[in-house]
Structure 1
Amino acid sequence: MDWVTGEYELFEVHEPTVHSIPFVYNSPHSGRCYPVSFLESSRLNAYEIRRSEDHFVDELFSSATEIGAPLLKANFPRAYLDVNREPYELDQRMFDGALPSYANIGSMRVAGGLGTVPRIVAENMDIYAHRLPVDEGIHRIESIYKPYHACLRKLVSRTHASFGMAVLIDCHSMPGNIRLTGSNIRPDIIIGDRYGTSASAEISRAALYLLEELGFTAVCNKPYAGGFITEHYGRPVRSLHALQIEVNRALYVDEKTLVKTAEFYAVQSALDTFMRQLAMFVSEYANDMAFAAE
């Protein structure tokens, strides 16, 4: 699929032949289909506007369907609409006309230019050459954000009903220059569980252990603990677990050209192994929980 196009499916669900494991995979930021009207309204060129993409993350986790889980992927770009935010985190400075009273105009994400309709892409680059009509921002939320989350909720609910539990893996990438605060450690992967509130400690620890066994430098919650999706869908007390996974882009893509490197397929293969091993662990974990409840 061409990354610049006028017509495309806003998002799509790749279903397994049989939904055999209690997982849902989600790639909300890897969309690379840019509406022509959006490109024409931007002050950025076709390369610059892609800086906030989670490059090829949908492909990194594409084997989810082979191991028995659905994969929801956005085709619209994050720069156009960010579904990993509250529905109405909006920056009044971006719009002509007053925002509705229920809009959250004071969040830290809005202040940083990264609301539901983003003002900037990475490196503090303003997207728009002019202000947007308020109706345009609201239209994106009503026509894309809400249907996307309705689809994600349906997948999670279906999984929970079928298996008695659900594990949502929210898949992302991060810039290659990320370091842990106060150190020179560059994590390969960061697992976010909202500091233990969106998933059980056992599942989070297993994810970290499995990634480290595969040779990745993996850490938890710092500097990414999980966004709106992880926080909103993770309810461990109800057997609804949500983990955010951030993969360092420098492992698999040239961040200057935004082209896959030769290492892409090795990273993809390692993540496939991770997904299979985590599914096995969760199966055993669910059996242990059921046994303990008897």
Structure 2
Amino acid sequence: MTACLADAIEPAFEVIAPAQCTAPFVFNSPHSGRIYPRSFVAQTRLDFPTLRRSEDTFVDELFADAVAVGAPLMRALFPRSFLDLNREPYELDPRMFEGRLPPFANTRSIRVSGGLGTIARVVGDAQEIYPRRLAVSEALERIETYYKPYHQALRRLIARAQRQWGLAVLVDCHSMPSTSTRDDMARADFVIGDRYGTSCSEVVTEAIETALIARGYRVVRNKPYAGGYITEHYGNPSAGLHAVQIELNRSLYMDEAAYERNAGFSQVKADLAGLMPALFSAVAEGIAPPRAAAE
């Protein structure tokens, strides 16, 4: 899928399902959407390449082999700069809108203050998206039309896995700009986020880390990305629900300025495909469903 403009985004997301689910995994790519509503682009003050800087470009393709080994892959088709699925549903900045936000909106989170709420104020290195305020009704419409159906579908996938296997493991797939890491993180190829050990079993994090290091990558945990709303919200290990975030350094697989795959793309994709069987086996052998553990 290449980036494009469209009058409407229908469908707004896709679930690519395997012929048969063979493991309790769900892979999710909420920021790889590259279909931009024309009406949205016309509202912004940015040129199209700049507007795309929040994309996890090609991440859905990099993890696509999950389907071949027996796990569904869910991906958004609309872009993160239009609506961010890795936020609370109403994480909104009142300075962005004309009119009164609902009283239940979270207007004081760190993400909102940084301009990266459910409706983002900025892309890239703090470049303002809009030249003027938006109507509150527009924000609420995006949430009702895109956010809520997406998360309803994601919950169904997770619930289905848990019903079949007694547990579920959500792998939330993301990318990071090569310029975003600092100091000792500057050379990180992957950042694994498990909310500092609270969103999934150590078995999951350890299996991913071990497989990536064995393939020659530099891997760090939780800094600077410990996992966002999706990892925090869906991860509940005591209930058999495990969620982990994987961030890839974009320079590994793409030309960040041109939004094109680079010579490393095929190798990164193959390496991600190679870690999946090991991850599936580690979970099968190392995590008992809660009801089995109780028995």
CA deviations on 1:35-61 (whole Å, 9 max, x unpaired) are 000011110111110000011100000
1:50 is matched by which residue type in structure 2?
R
Cα displacement string for residues 183-224 of structure 1 (whole angstroms, at most 9, x for unaligned residues): 364110010000111001122112111111111111110110
Cα distance change, pair 238–128 in 1 and its aligned pair in 2 (3 A): same
- Of residues 89, 98, 101 in structure 1, which corresponds to 2:100? 98
Q: Secondary structure of the residue that 1:72 maps to in structure 2?
A: strand
Aligned to 2:49: 47
Match of 1:3? 3
* Rounded Cα–Cα distance in structure 1 between residues aligned with 2:36 and 2:111: 23
Contact 2:188 2:218 in 1 (8 A): yes
The offset of 1:277, in angstroms, is 1.4
Note if 1:89 corresponds to 2:91.
yes
- Residue 80 of structure 1 deviates from its aligned partner by 0.2
**Which letter maps to 1:3?**
A
**CA–CA separation in structure 2 for the residues paired with 1:45 and 1:258:** 14
Percent identity reads: 51
Q: What residue number does 1:137 align with? A: 139
Question: What is the aligned partner in structure 2 of residue 195 from structure 1?
Answer: 196
Tell me how far apart the structure 2 counterparts of residues 193 and 284 of structure 1 sit (CA, whole Å). 20
Alignment-derived partner of residue 175 in structure 2: 173
Deviations 1:123-165 (A, max 9, x none): 1111112211000001101111111100000000010010001
- 1:257 aligned partner: 258
Q: How do residues 225-240 of structure 1 correspond to structure 2 at under 5 angstroms?
A: 225-240=226-241
After TM superposition, the structure 1 stretch with the greater mean CA deviation from structure 2, 87-96 or 183-192, is: 183-192
Aligned length: 293
Alignment of 1:151-166 (within 5 A): 151-166=153-168
Question: Residue 35 of structure 2 aligns to a residue in which SS?
Answer: coil
Check whether the contact 1:208–1:218 (CA below 8 A) recurs between aligned residues.
yes
Letter in 2 for 1:272: A
Aligned Cα root-mean-square deviation (Å): 1.6
Pick one of 78, 81, 90 that aligns with 1:79: 81
Deviation at 1:7, TM superposition (A): 3.2
Provide structure 1 residue ranges, at least 5 long, that are not aligned to the other structure: none
Distance (Å, rounded) in 2 between the aligned partners of 1:57 and 1:238: 29
Q: Tell me, in whole angstroms, the C-alpha distance in 1 between the residues paired with 2:102 and 2:294.
A: 47
2:224 partner amino acid: P
Following superposition, the deviation at residue 179 of structure 1 comes to 3.4
Does structure 2 retain, via aligned residues, the 8 Å contact 1:180–1:187? no
Q: Distance in 2 between matches of 1:129 and 1:117?
A: 14
Cα offsets for 1:223-272 (capped at 9, x unmatched): 10000000000000011100000000010111111111011011000010
Aligned to 2:128: 126
Q: Which residue does the alignment assign to 1:271?
A: 272
Corresponding residue number in structure 2 for 1:209: 210
Partners of 1:246 and 1:19 in 2: how far apart? Answer: 25
For residue 6 of structure 1, report the CA deviation from its aligned partner: 2.1
> Do the aligned partners of 2:199 and 2:243 also contact (CA within 8 Å) in 1?
yes
User: Which blocks of at least 5 consecutive residues in structure 2 are unaligned?
Assistant: none
SS in 2 for 1:37: helix
Contact 2:29-2:73 at 8 Å conserved across structures: yes
CA separation of 1:289/1:209 partners in 2, compared to 1, >3 Å: closer, same or farther?
A: farther
| Alpha-carbon distance between aligned partners in 1 of 2:76 and 2:206, rounded to the nearest angstrom | 28
